[in-house]
Structure 1
């Protein structure tokens, strides 16, 4: 793995001049499958797919940044704008799965997993290292459809986040800081149809954002990571797993309690639906790499045929 930064003045980013890095990963990286899974719906103001380029916003200690990633052969070209450009470039290897270690993963336990693993060697587990952003996003997604959660995320980030620098393909924003999440008025939560249990959970978590982030990043095992997150009121194992997946690239996190996941895993591995207990039993041969198997199942595009209409989101805002 090599990361080579172009020469430039230290204040180039603050003048709007982009900084560029060429990242040469040690293993193949499918940029869309690795980094793209962080996008929260097609209207996500923090991530945009622009043809072969993936745009992502970041909030750094030095200010906001916009990061553009594109593959060029075995290299990944990263360009960043804004006061936080250097921090954004420093995040590229982990974002592209540099810390993802597949040691001990044996896809041969199931023919589908073996086949997809052979055909999808570039799927890596991205790590953002930004705990509270992942946690807030997961809380908003509790007990609602993806459509509802993505809409709320888009509207809240656009209104309370900070406009990203650079020539982004459309207006993009960084997610609010923990302090900004705490100051969102109750009526704004109501306008975007985030219910009081979820909004209060975000606010309570924001009050402990720094200490929770430090503890989670230091926790060495999935059990200890769950213990850190579920110590917060309103945070269960589903929200903990979703946070671990995005912030840490945790290879073993499983979102138990998800409305669809157990059905999808069961159908892909057996041809039949299963429940959470059945899913955990099916994934047991890959202990330590269960999230990796789930990602391969998603990549396989094997899914149970629909049996009825989609669930229509219910609008509580007028109540």
Structure 2
């Protein structure tokens, strides 16, 4: 990825935190790389290189700054919103696909050869899939070293390393400290070995109440729920179950993760970040929406509104089908009937449910079964790793799924920043309240000026109705 030296230099000199995660500053004289906002003395221009990712810096032999922790910066908004193969690959790597299935598994999911995938990632982010996964393992290991009292050998395998020696060598290379040295820096109290407390940074501003109220209003008893200023969510993870308690704070969300298997730390963090849209660039979103005089007062009053997304794409698609033409409260009641334990059913589990578990018209039950069959059979991927346009088109091929359901799923499950629902009653009511056109055709035409952030406009219109 091309980085303009002068722009990056200005951002680093002014310690602009908005660029954290967009690039890292690699200092050739110290062989250390930092966030743009690092409080350390700004190095001379001739001693600086700007690289797109922490993995790219590590690949070239730079060590992470232990003061600003550049490996723990918010993810790049570019990879979060992009629907191309590089953006999809970055999301899948963050979810731990390389650790579980190797590079062949990642390449297979994306439909490319390993060589071509490596070439594309290296050109765009400065590192191939193995280097990116290695950087993530190192960060996971550091979090476990500093926040738990687990043995270092346990941490090595929980973080995804193949051996203790590989773990020791990688930590020493990336942080310039041995694992034991990192642990000496902090003394941790006794706690459940399956509990990990981490901070999930974001780019300010973040309108936490908008997130909490949206998710709380749609909570399913036994699966998730709002608890004051926090949100609790049960997680279905690759190696077992988990629970996340997420509490927004100043510049970060405090996450308490209860994990049945610590190998699921990285996927749990990735899914929580995705759920709360923490890698978004609110300045870019609000600048575009705020250019519309009819939206500007709301943007000014409530900066940093995010799109509540998903930890499970199939669940969102089911919610969308169930929510067709009924209220949010009624949808919650229907959805609760589908849940038999403490996790939302998988596609295979939903197919096994008896007909009387579907408290809905026969046609809608058939739609849910057809949707579940497509996901269980591998014909439809709703985890954000697939091509968005292709996935949305395949959704519409499922009998009973139209544009509203497909766009809602694209917005929340696939992370499409530009989905739009011009026929939604809540959207139309919100538009009317703000003085916008309140018929679908005229509103859709007006919304063209909101591209590529129409999903964020949908959330704002819902909040206005």
**Which of the five TM-score ranges fits, normalised by the shorter chain?**
0.7 to 0.9
2:335 counterpart SS class: helix
- 2:270 equivalent in structure 1: 90
- 2:428 equivalent in structure 1: 262
Cα pair 1:21 1:77 within 8 Å, conserved: yes
1:241 aligns with 2:407: yes
Cα pair 2:313 2:383 within 8 Å, conserved: no
- 1:111 equivalent in structure 2: 293
After TM superposition, list the pairs within 5 Å mapping 1:55-204 onto structure 2.
55-83=232-260, 86=265, 87-101=267-281, 103=284, 106-128=288-310, 130-157=312-339, 160=340, 162-163=341-342, 174-189=343-358, 193-204=359-370
- Relative contact order (C-alpha < 8 Å, sep 6+): which is higher? 1
Rate the CA distance shift 1:38–1:240 in 2: closer, same or farther, 3 A. farther
Distance 2:220 2:346 in 1: 20
1:232 aligns with 2:407: no
2:385 counterpart SS class: helix
Cα pair 1:126 1:249 within 8 Å, conserved: no
- 1:312 equivalent in structure 2: none
Question: Normalising to structure 1: TM-score of the pair?
Answer: 0.77
Rate the CA distance shift 1:295–1:187 in 2: closer, same or farther, 3 A. closer
- 2:164 equivalent in structure 1: none
- Runs of 4 or more, structure 1, over 6 Å off, are none
Distance 1:36 1:142 in 2: 21
The alpha carbon displacement at 1:94 in A equals 2.3
Distance 1:92 1:148 in 2: 26
Q: Which of 423, 443, 457 in structure 2 is aligned with 1:279?
A: 443
Cα pair 2:318 2:368 within 8 Å, conserved: yes
The alpha carbon displacement at 1:31 in A equals 3.0
Question: Normalising to structure 2: TM-score of the pair?
Answer: 0.54
Root-mean-square deviation (CA, aligned residues, Å) is 2.8
* 1:136-161 C-alpha deviation (Å, 9 max, x unpaired): 1111112323332111112322xx2x
1:252 aligns with 2:418: yes
1:250 counterpart SS class: coil
- 1:48 equivalent in structure 2: 225
Rate the CA distance shift 1:269–1:125 in 2: closer, same or farther, 3 A. same
Rate the CA distance shift 1:92–1:137 in 2: closer, same or farther, 3 A. same
Distance 2:356 2:193 in 1: 36
Cα pair 1:230 1:236 within 8 Å, conserved: yes
1:111 counterpart SS class: coil
The alpha carbon displacement at 1:69 in A equals 0.6
Choose 1 or 2 for highest CA Rg: 2
Rate the CA distance shift 1:94–1:8 in 2: closer, same or farther, 3 A. farther
The alpha carbon displacement at 1:68 in A equals 0.2
Distance 1:240 1:261 in 2: 16
1:288 aligns with 2:458: no
- 1:168 equivalent in structure 2: none
2:225 counterpart SS class: strand
Cα pair 1:257 1:276 within 8 Å, conserved: yes
Cα pair 1:142 1:198 within 8 Å, conserved: no
